[in-house]
């Protein structure tokens, strides 16, 4: 079973506790983050990997490099679909979506929407133009996708 993977062309990732100003984990030259239920697997451009316990960090930031190479999550297990039509974000799933987060390319959470439906729409017209990462969760499924707000 494949789990969500964020494939990005080499970036630096900084992992933070909820109220921390300093990163508790730093990963340089990362090419892939694989989000598993209890760990996050970090793959670097030299093909080395490491695992971080998800309970040790609250959020992460991408810095110093571009996320423009990211197209979407790679996951055959996830039944969550994320798309944008104009200024409307559409999220559909086989089971009710339990949470939806929109994160800017700099790592700032710009929206956190509690949900309990399998079909959601959200107006993103208030967001400034740019690249955003959408994280949707449903039961034990997770989907991570990049969207571009024009």
Average pLDDT, stretch 109-117? 82
Give the pLDDT score at 124.
92
Q: Is the dihedral of CA 125, 134, 17, 14 positive or negative?
A: negative
Q: Give the Cα separation of 106 and 61 in Å (integer).
A: 6
Give the residue carrying structure tokens 């300093």. 22
Q: Are 21 and 50 part of one and the same domain?
A: yes
Give the pLDDT score at 93.
86
Q: Are 58 and 107 part of one and the same domain?
A: no
- Which strands sit side by side in the sheet containing 130-138, from one edge to the other? 109-114, 99-104, 130-138, 141-149
Give the pLDDT score at 9.
52
Q: Give the Cα separation of 35 and 6 in Å (integer).
A: 8
Q: Are 57 and 19 part of one and the same domain?
A: yes
Q: Are 57 and 87 part of one and the same domain?
A: no
> Is residue 74 domain-resident?
no
- Count how many Cα atoms sit within 13 Å of the Cα of residue 36 in the half-sphere of its side chain: 11
Residue range(s) defining the domain that contains residue 96? 81-149
Is 53:38 a contact under the CB 8 Å cutoff? yes
- Count how many Cα atoms sit within 13 Å of the Cα of residue 111 in the half-sphere of its side chain: 19
* Highest mean pLDDT pick, 14-28, 87-101, 130-144: 87-101
Average pLDDT, stretch 64-74? 46
């Amino acid at each position: 079973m494949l789990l969500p993977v964020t494939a990005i062309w080499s970036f630096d990732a900084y992992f933070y506790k909820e109220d921390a100003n300093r990163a508790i984990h730093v990963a340089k030259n990362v090419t892939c983050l694989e989000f598993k239920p209890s760990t996050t697997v970090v793959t670097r451009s030299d093909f080395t990997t490491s695992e971080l316990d998800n309970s040790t960090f609250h959020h992460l930031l991408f810095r110093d490099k571009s996320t423009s190479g990211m197209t979407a999550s790679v996951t055959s297990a996830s039944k969550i679909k994320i798309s944008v039509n104009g200024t409307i974000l559409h999220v559909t799933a086989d089971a009710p979506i339990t949470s939806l987060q929109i994160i800017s390319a700099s790592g700032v959470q710009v929206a956190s929407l509690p949900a309990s439906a399998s079909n959601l729409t959200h107006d993103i017209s208030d967001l400034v133009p740019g690249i955003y990462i959408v994280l949707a969760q449903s039961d034990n499924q997770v989907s991570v996708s990049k969207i571009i707000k024009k």
